[in-house]
Chain A
């Protein structure tokens, strides 16, 4: 298994983006990304431009669409059959989500706390959902300098945390919501996916199984070993509660550094957090850290903190690991 950086929320001229499909792919590669999801608003037409050659020579692309509906935006990836969004009402999103899942698709809630209509039409999530067990991921961080935006991303983190606390297994993603290549004045982010191979289907499987990490810059390192079960643990894994885990935590300060080093990342601390975001263990990241941690029943995840552009903030976090009694 290897970790690859991905951008899972992109637009082209097939909707309101400024990229052609090949230009988007080339631009993603130039930014050191190793996979993208193409998620144009309400259309699949851009997917017809994806070729084996583009995937092999430039970047593998997960097939997707952004449901740009009236009361929320939803990322639908790798779905066998087109499921129509145009007749969804605020009360029957559950049924649509089930239909997507029945067709093999992945469901991700996009930027749930973005400013909504009419400034950004349908951008804030206002659909009723009770079938949260059908939702694969939430775009917990989106946009520029995500950790700073409490209104947009802090509230999405709180929403995600409370769903995890209720027992739902939901992965996290970052979405740049990439429409054009602009000059960076602050860090963006990416989603790291743990994949067997760099293919769209392995990328989709990582999201489906919750093997993701989100960062604004350096790649988080979470090498976690369950000595009793003699296996390496990835986000999304289910492990027995009470098994002592040996963790090597850090941040890779080399990978893609051209993308983020000018924003001055100083990693300081890794925290293992559980229900309610409570800190269960922590270690200083200087330069790496070893931690022995025995999880109680429930979910836990790792948050990497430090400074970015002189501001103290979270730099990265993993999707949850699940410990069962």
Chain B
């Protein structure tokens, strides 16, 4: 059994790049049995400070303007963390949607093969061809957030 790196990404993303999906082609050679995706980003949380307080205040006044803002009274809203949320999705070479891991931990490892797959992805035979990785930037609250992705193929 051997491994081959099929794709890597190590780059900063900035707040202006949020609310978009970035797609990357993954060239998968023949006889690949399994794909592994190591995905991480850093930092997770926006630290307390003026940027945090302004962003939180802007969000609350946009989405809960008066008179609804009074419903937030008594809630510890200033303690709500503002976090980056990025996720990865995957399409097979025949364009089938394999899935997505929509969850918060900023370090994730996923495996996809014909027999099994990490939760969020469907078990799929790893056919030769151009697969597609999606990076969904749901929220980028730190400037920047450093994103790291490494996709490997596992061969018999």
Contacts and interface: CB of A to CB of B under 8 A. Distances in A.
Given A86-B21, A121-B85, A150-B71, A115 B60 contact: yes
Interface string B34-58: 0000000000000000000001100
B21 A117 contact: no
Interface stretch (B2-10, B117-125, B146-154): B117-125
Interface residues on A, range: 35 or more
Contact of B102 (A68, A71, A87): A68
B63 A82 contact: no
Interface stretch (A36-44, A165-173, A276-284): A36-44
Interface stretch (A12-20, A54-62, A215-223, A295-303): A12-20
Nearest to A114: B63
Contacts of B16: none
Nearest to A71: B19
Given A119-B80, A121-B85, A121-B138, A44 B55 contact: no
A74 to B, nearest CB: 14
Given A117-B139, A151-B71, A45 B59 contact: no
Interface string A1-35: 00000000000011110000000000000000000
A15 B20 CA distance: 19
B106 interface: no
Given A84-B97, A86-B134, A86-B136, A45 B117 contact: yes
Interface of A: 13-16, 40-46, 48, 68, 70-71, 82, 84, 86-87, 113-119, 121-122, 124, 148-152, 154-155
